[in-house]
Each structure stands twice: as structure tokens, then as C-alpha cells.
Amino acid sequence: MAAAQGRLSDGADGTDGRDEGDGDGTPPAFRQAVDALRAARLRPEMEVEKARPPQRLAPFSYALEAVVVQDGQDLADGRLVLLHDPAGHDAWKGAFRLVTLVRAELEPEMAADPLLPEVCWSWLTGAFEARGAAYVEPSGTVTLAGSHYFGALANRRTATQIEIRASWTPREGAGGVPDAATHLTAWCELLCQIGGLPPGTPADAAVVSLPQRRGPQSPR
């Protein structure tokens, strides 16, 4: 990731490359939500940049990618997509939807904990609650996948990756605009927690964190 740490890189607009004010018909509520994402102040361990959004999930979309970096080591990475349908969406129960994929590699002994999926899911919902980020219709999966190496790769240690896929509908406030910055901050806290970093605020102190990695992650 080439973005500056702690915030989104400058110059990213919210309309998949179209410039603000060029008559593209972007709804003001979506534009304001994207502006809030761009202005959010994040933890210094975060490196975040704009990514190409999906084209067919909603009339308007904005995507970003993030990596948690500490001491030059990538601890976790993820992708967050903001979707907007001005007409509303029955399944979303609203006009906006946030969709995410988060990944990190774990030590084998951590991956063996049968409660790990429930703990990881609680990090997402707990981050929302700690920041007062209102949401409805959450859904998702927590997946553990192990890799064993053979032949020329036999010298690599067994690697286990945890992957969280989730989506939720942020509650809309004045003018139909969700508090996108708060949801982004909560999502970044999830990334940091799955990467093994300690809580960023006292409100997160009650959340159980994974131990930090003991060494560099295996190549992906």
C-alpha cells in the first residue's frame, strides 16, 4: 500500500474516477458519505488507499483497501466497499450497504481455539457498539483455512489464515447520510484486532485481542 498512514490517500473521489461537480449525477448523500470516509482520521498503523469498486452491486459504489503495518510487517489486510442505491434496497433495509473482506495469518495454536470464530465476529459488532455506530441487518462468515507445504516448499511452516466476510447497513442520519467515518473507524479497529494489536481506545479494552505475530508472515 502506498497511501499515507492513518488516513485515506488524497485525491480519491467517490465516483469511480469521475471528478466532483462534473455533472455525473452522483447523489449528494453518497458524495457526503464518501467525503466523510476520505476525511476520517485513523490509527497510525493503518495504510489505506482507494481501490476499484465493484460495478454491478449497486448504482453507486466506493471501495478502499487497507493494511495494518507495524515495524515494517503486514499484520492484516482488508477491503471495504460502500454501496448506495438511492431507491433503497429491500434486503439492505436502507439505501446504503457496507461490505468487507478482512484477512490475517495466525499462529497454529491460536487457530486451534474453537471459540475463535465467535470472538472475531464479536470484534466487528463490539467496535460498532463502542463507537455508537448504528447499523442493522448484519451478516457474514468467519473462515479458517490451513496451508501445508510439501516438496520444494516443505521448509515452510504450516500457515493458517482467518478470513472475515461481512456486510451491514449503516443507519442513515440527517439528509439520509450515514456516519461513514465512524463505521470506517470501527472497521479499522477490527483490522487492528485481527492483526494482534492492542485496543486503540479505552472503549475497546474489554475486547480480547489475539497475541501479536512472533515473526514475518509466510508469503501468500
Residues 6+ apart with CB under 8 A from 20: 13, 14, 26, 31
Q: Tens digit of pLDDT for each residue in 104-123?
A: 988 777 777 778 889 889 98
Higher-pLDDT residue of 215 and 86 is: 86
Query: Which residue is listed with cell 509466510?
Result: 218
- Positions of E strands within the chain: 46-51, 60-70, 73-89, 94-106, 135-147, 159-170
Q: How confident is the model at residue 1 (pLDDT cuts 50, 70, 90)?
A: very low
- Per residue in 148-193, pLDDT tens? 778 888 888 777 889 999 999 999 998 899 999 999 999 999 999 9
User: What does the pLDDT average to over 72-92?
Assistant: 94
For residue 210, the model assigns a pLDDT of: 52
pTM above 0.85, yes or no: no
Mean pLDDT lowest among 2-6, 25-29, 204-208: 2-6
Our separate counts of H helices and E strands in the chain read 4, 6
Q: Are 44 and 55 in contact (CB under 8 A)?
A: no
What does the pLDDT look like over 133-145, one tens digit per residue? 999 999 999 988 8
In tens, the pLDDT along 12-27 reads 344 443 333 334 688 9
Largest CA distance in the chain: 60
Residue type, 46: M
